[in-house]
Amino acid sequence: RELLGPRDVLVIDEAGMIGTRQMERVLSEAESAGAKVVLVGDAEQLQAIEAGAAFRSLAERHGAAEINEVRRQHEDWQKDATRALATGRTGEAIHAYSSQGMVHAAETREAARAELIDTWDAQRLADPDKTRIILTHTNAEVRDLNLAARDRLRDAGELGQDVAVSAARGAREFASGDRIMFLKNERGMGVKNGTLGKVERVSPDSMAVRLDDGRQVAFDLKDYVHVDHGYAATIHKSQGVTVDQGHVLATPGMDRHSAYVALSRHRDGVQLHYGCDDFADVSRLVRTLGRERAKDMASDYSRDTAQDIRAFADRRGLSGEICLPDAPERKGVEILAPRAGTSRQMGEDSRTRDIGGDRGAGEGKAAAERQPRRSMFDGLRLPIEPEKAAGPAQGAKEKPAPKRGMFDGLKLPMRSSAPMPAKDSPVRAEQDRDFRRAVERASRSAETVLQARASGGPVLEHQKVALERAGQALDQIRAGASRDMASAMQRDPALLREAAAGRSGPMIEAMAQEARVRADPNLRADRFVERWQGLNAQRDELYRAGDMTGREKIGKEMAGMAKSLERDPQMESVLRDRTRDLGLEIGMERGRQMGGGELGRQLTQELGIGRDRGMSR
């Protein structure tokens, strides 16, 4: 037995599949031995079986070297699809493969299974030198697919005499010519969990196998019995596997993490099959395979210590005897957009770990070329505790500069929304749970970033990554949700802390209202008038205080609002009936006769007249 020492480096591959307790045991042992531990993996792929997400948590809090280049797939469009899978845009990836004729629907799962075997067999006969694997979610499906594949080889006369073998998973029949998968690491043989090969010789006591890398191994079955047929495998078993051609049978137990793994094992192509008894159409397939089911950590959930103490005191009748110190005053914080020339649309930059394998090369270069990334809250100025940040009344000259919009300069891709299932259906209930978790996760990420700014420190790269991915996960479930969330936070900052603490109901209600505002030009017009009148009142107050610089800044913001009407003709049409509310003395009839864009020009002109009047005074 080998023990770790102070000169050892322990490299753990696929570290994202390690639970928190397992990770703690490994790191504690390495620390006591003085050894170094290197964790390699992708937190977006399959999640840990045990509780926790230690690898993801470490990467978010301490940062990590990242590989940005997809090397496994040969075709550029397939590389783009893998990037989409890695960043939570599962629908984009599935539609890309569908457009290339690689997504196949059948009446039932049984029919889909048969069509998959037909496709697999045709590719095998057409190009026998290429490697391929069939992937699905459950062991039961794997067993059925393995048997169906063996039957095709048996019918073609490509298998030798069957030999009964007592394997780790039960009795199996192997023959020369069979595909085989090793299920357990064995250093002496040079095989690991997931290694594939072809049986060259088999007896009840021993086996000789030609591995896919060209090596030959022979072993006694009394020493190593962890083998199974290698035509099909579970997605969990395939993480780390690379083949030329992949075949996937989709089932309802999959999510975006398993879809990411299953649809990225290939070099040349992948065929995705599904039954309409499992998924009525492609939109249902996308919805299921796009589900966010990442593991959480206890540290992801912020705790309100003061509230816990008060609750403890109340239960024991000690409320009047508990004195808590006042929370330290926090100023408003700001998340600024990256410098000009570096902005990207959210989700376009795919800084995922270990996309498509081939780790190591180019890490230094990738780190050197890394540029600032935009987040879902670029341009956000949000007070953590507005009631304390306000402080005592101050003179008008000391008033803060006008606030930028939360999404100034941010362009978000629009996605078409699939029809929502019935409100009381199990599918809808599951979607609502996923959405609630996504809102709470995004709130925690946003609060972490805002608190970093409030403390005077920089926003770290892993915090930006976490916020970006949280926004993508929201939009994957409901299009435009990240913008609705940011707008809701701007109007009521207290919603963020509540949602981050797991009380997401008020935030979700506010987001629903923001979605209604986006869809209804009358509500957008109400918002426009409310904001315009508020800014105009501020502008007049600054003029009376003699603060011409502040007044000019407010005027520029109002001019930007007027200009924005060109991009929203529906709202402009509604506002033509409300010119008096906007301070235009032109009459309702004249307002209704305005052409497209004329209202914005009138408002801009009025701002100029007001400025000239102010200067003449």
pLDDT score at 336: 39
Asked if residue 609 has pLDDT above 60, the reply is no
Q: Is residue 413 part of a domain?
A: no
Instruction: Kindly report the number of other CB atoms within 10 A of residue 242's CB atom.
Output: 18
How many angstroms separate the CA atoms of 270 and 250, rounded?
Answer: 12
pLDDT score at 49: 67
Residue 261: CATH number of its domain: 3.40.50
Q: Is residue 151 part of a domain?
A: yes
Q: Residue for token digits 């009407």?
A: 565
Asked if residue 37 has pLDDT above 80, the reply is yes
Q: Is residue 354 part of a domain?
A: no
- Residue ending a domain, choose from 476, 498, 516: 516
pLDDT score at 268: 92
Q: Is residue 539 part of a domain?
A: yes
Asked if residue 575 has pLDDT above 90, the reply is no
- Residue ending a domain, choose from 230, 257, 290: 290
Q: Which residue has the higher pLDDT, 520 or 294?
A: 520
How many angstroms separate the CA atoms of 302 and 375, rounded?
Answer: 21
Q: Which residue has the higher pLDDT, 370 or 36?
A: 36
Diameter over CA atoms, the chain: 104
Whether 93 and 45 map to the same domain: the answer is no
Q: Is residue 468 part of a domain?
A: yes
Whether 189 and 259 map to the same domain: the answer is yes
Q: Is residue 328 part of a domain?
A: no
pLDDT score at 340: 35
Q: What's the average model confidence in pLDDT over 101-120?
A: 93
Whether 56 and 167 map to the same domain: the answer is no
Q: What's the average model confidence in pLDDT over 426-440?
A: 84
Whether 169 and 215 map to the same domain: the answer is yes
Phi, psi of 372 (to 5 degrees): -60, 140
Q: Is residue 562 part of a domain?
A: yes
Element (H, E) at 600: helix 598-616
Whether 223 and 92 map to the same domain: the answer is yes
pLDDT score at 318: 59
Q: For 458-487, what is each residue's pLDDT tens digit? A: 777 777 888 888 888 888 888 889 889 988
Asked if residue 310 has pLDDT above 80, the reply is no
Q: Is residue 172 part of a domain?
A: yes
User: In sequence order, what E strands does 345-455 have?
Assistant: 380-383
pLDDT score at 311: 65
Asked whether the beta carbons of 243 and 133 are under 8 A apart, the reply is yes
Q: What is the mean pLDDT of the chain?
A: 77
Whether 257 and 238 map to the same domain: the answer is yes
pLDDT score at 365: 42
pLDDT score at 532: 87
Look up residue 173 and give its amino acid: E
Q: Annotate 64-83 with b (16+ C-beta within 10 A) or e (fewer).
A: bebbbebbbbeeeebbbbbb
pLDDT score at 50: 67
State the pTM of this model: 0.50
Question: What Å distances lie between residue 274 and 116, 118, 145, 277, 287, CA to CA?
Answer: 9, 14, 14, 9, 13
Tokens of 322: 């508990």
Whether 38 and 133 map to the same domain: the answer is no
Whether 145 and 278 map to the same domain: the answer is yes
- Residue ending a domain, choose from 251, 272, 290: 290
Q: For 162-183, what is each residue's pLDDT tens digit? A: 888 888 888 889 999 999 999 8
pLDDT score at 12: 84
Point out the least confidently predicted range of 30-39, 44-53, 512-521: 44-53
pLDDT score at 350: 37
Q: Give me the number of domains the chain comprises.
A: 4
Point out the least confidently predicted range of 47-51, 154-158, 301-305, 489-493: 301-305
Whether 164 and 107 map to the same domain: the answer is yes
pLDDT score at 356: 42
Tokens of 547: 């603060």
Tokens of 295: 């593991």
Whether 530 and 440 map to the same domain: the answer is no
Asked whether the beta carbons of 54 and 29 are under 8 A apart, the reply is no
Whether 137 and 244 map to the same domain: the answer is yes
Q: For 211-255, what is each residue's pLDDT tens digit? A: 988 899 999 988 999 999 989 998 888 877 888 999 999 999 888
Residue numbers of the domain that contains 509: 429-516
Whether 176 and 212 map to the same domain: the answer is yes
Asked whether the beta carbons of 107 and 121 are under 8 A apart, the reply is no
pLDDT score at 316: 59
DSSP assignment string, 155-208: HTT-----EEEEETTEEEEE-TT-EEEE-S-BTTTTB-TT-EEEEEEE-SSEEE
DSSP assignment string, 316-375: TT-GGG---PPPPP--EEEEPPPPTT----TT-----TTSSS--STTHHHHHHH------
Q: For 334-379, what is each residue's pLDDT tens digit? A: 333 333 333 333 333 333 333 344 434 444 444 444 444 444 555 5
Q: What's the average model confidence in pLDDT over 573-592?
A: 72
Asked whether the beta carbons of 358 and 72 are under 8 A apart, the reply is yes
pLDDT confidence bin for 88, thresholds 50/70/90: confident
